[in-house]
Amino acid sequence: MLLSKRHVEPRVLLIEDTEDTRELSRMALESQACEVAAVSTAEAALGLLQAGERFDLVFTDVCLGGLSGIEAAHRIRQQFPSLPVLVTSGLQPDRVTPQLAPGIHFLPKPYTMSELLDAIRACFGDHEVDRAA
């Protein structure tokens, strides 16, 4: 499935600390023609980005061990302002959305595949995505 007119196969950095959820999310994204790099911590994700790895989107859970997904999202947007970030959480939206900055999108849990794809498309629509990190 085409997620972006600019990228037939967008590269997604997935941050999820629960192994089963990380694997399900990875498989779901890959089933939709995404190339996925999955890590269990925000620190690992930041390390990949700082090492020069290129991604079209970062998709992270809010609740992570160590650095939270929201803290990671802010650091990523600060260091890589053209890289969109999608955060997801089972927390009430009014507890998450006030903490978000421009370029950081929110997808409440639980979500369907269709809702995930719509959220990813919305992220791409807000940014000129050209594998710029």
The H or E element spanning position 57 is strand 57-61
Question: Is CATH 2.60.290.11 the right assignment for the domain spanning 11-126?
Answer: no
Which of 73-77, 80-84, 118-122 comes out lowest in average pLDDT?
Answer: 118-122
**pLDDT digit string, tens, across residues 122-133:** 888 854 433 333
Q: What is the pTM of this model?
A: 0.87
With vertex at residue 73, the alpha carbon angle to CA 82 and CA 86, rounded to the nearest 5 degrees, is 75
**pLDDT digit string, tens, across residues 4-42:** 555 568 899 999 999 998 999 999 899 888 999 999 999
**Domain residue spans in the chain?**
11-126
**pLDDT score recorded for residue 77:** 95
Q: CA distances (Å), 117 to each of 51, 59, 86, 94, in order?
A: 28, 12, 11, 22
Q: What is the DSSP letter of 22?
A: H
Q: Which residue has the tokens 């997935």?
A: 14
